[in-house]
Amino acid sequence: MEQLLLPDIVIKKLKEAATRSGVSPEELAGEIILNELSSDPRDRISLYVSLCNKYIKEAEDLIVRKDYIQASEKIWGAAASCIKAAAIKKVGKRLASHGELWEFVSKLIDETGDQELGLLWRTAISMHVNFYENWAPPEEVVRALEHVKKFVGKIFKYTGLGEMGE
């Protein structure tokens, strides 16, 4: 994949806007670009699947480096990104709030009867909290990553995205 280098001012503004929006700079940049250049929902699905996989890999790397706080946020980001991809695929809707993520997961639990999804989802949310509070011991962050990988696999399977994306 080719990398683009952007001027510092663009990166600064992107990071500021992402922080205000509560999303990663990559997600915000992807959304802005796709809003302008593509109306194909498959492009957004691809964006979120890519982000999900990227965040899982980054969480693994951060755990190796013993940066459990940053790993926690990447674990949460992977779960949220996979839900965003799944919602676009399943109902054609872009989810923009934590409440919408919860609602989608809850409906998917009801549809599939898979109660474990709720437990795995709550694990992902606990990692979002851990990013801010740093309460979880390192071994729990490691366990959470494995649970979120399982969550992602189930969500993608139930929504037709395949094992780990299209």
Q: Is the pLDDT of residue 6 over 90?
A: no
Contact 48, 81 (CB under 8 A): yes
Residue 48 lies in a domain: yes
pLDDT at 113: 97
pLDDT at 138: 98
Which residues constitute the domain of residue 113? 39-158
pLDDT at 134: 93
pLDDT at 1: 64
Residue 27 lies in a domain: no
Total domain count, the chain: 1
Residue 20 pLDDT grade (very low, low, confident, very high; cuts 50, 70, 90): confident
Residue 22 lies in a domain: no
Q: 56 to each of 23, 41, 107, how far by Cα in Å?
A: 16, 23, 24
Residue 76 lies in a domain: yes
pLDDT greater at residue 65 or residue 25: 65
- In this structure, what CATH number is given to the domain that contains residue 75? 1.20.120.330
Residue 54 lies in a domain: yes
131-156 tens-digit pLDDT? 999 999 999 999 999 999 999 999 99
Residue 57 lies in a domain: yes
Residue 56 lies in a domain: yes
The percentage of residues in the chain with a pLDDT greater than 70, rounded to a whole number, is 97
Residue 166 pLDDT grade (very low, low, confident, very high; cuts 50, 70, 90): very low
91-115 tens-digit pLDDT? 999 998 999 999 999 999 999 999 9
38-53 tens-digit pLDDT? 889 999 999 999 999 9
pLDDT at 80: 97
Q: Is the pLDDT of residue 164 over 70?
A: no
Q: 142 to each of 20, 57, 75, 147, how far by Cα in Å?
A: 29, 13, 10, 9
Helices (H), ranges, the chain: 8-21, 25-37, 41-64, 68-91, 98-112, 116-133, 138-158
Please state which of the ranges 30-39, 49-58, 108-117 shows the lowest mean pLDDT.
30-39
Average pLDDT taken over every residue of the chain: 93
Residue 163 lies in a domain: no
